[in-house]
Amino acid sequence: MYCYFCRHNTKKIDFKDTETLKRFISLLGKIKSRKKTGLCSYHQKQVARAIKRARELALLSYTKK
């Protein structure tokens, strides 16, 4: 399994792109691990940072309702 962002040649992960970020959040609202997402370590760190920023700005919720 290859990294989603490496396959799509994505240079930077935007925290405003909530539809893409929702793919990497579990049903309980937690950030999925690298084993489950299949991301490389570089992009996993960027995804985690983008999700946290989006939550702070209320673009994503902390929990799933």
CA 25 to chain centre: 7
SS3 content of the chain, % helix, strand, coil (to 5): 50, 5, 50
pLDDT tens figures, 27-52: 999 999 999 999 999 999 999 999 99
Please tell me the CATH superfamily of domain 4-56, with its number: Ribosomal protein S18 (4.10.640.10)
Domain range list for the chain: 4-56
pLDDT of residue 42: 95
Q: Which residue has the higher pLDDT, 2 or 15?
A: 15
Give this prediction's pTM: 0.91
pLDDT of residue 2: 84
pLDDT of residue 7: 93
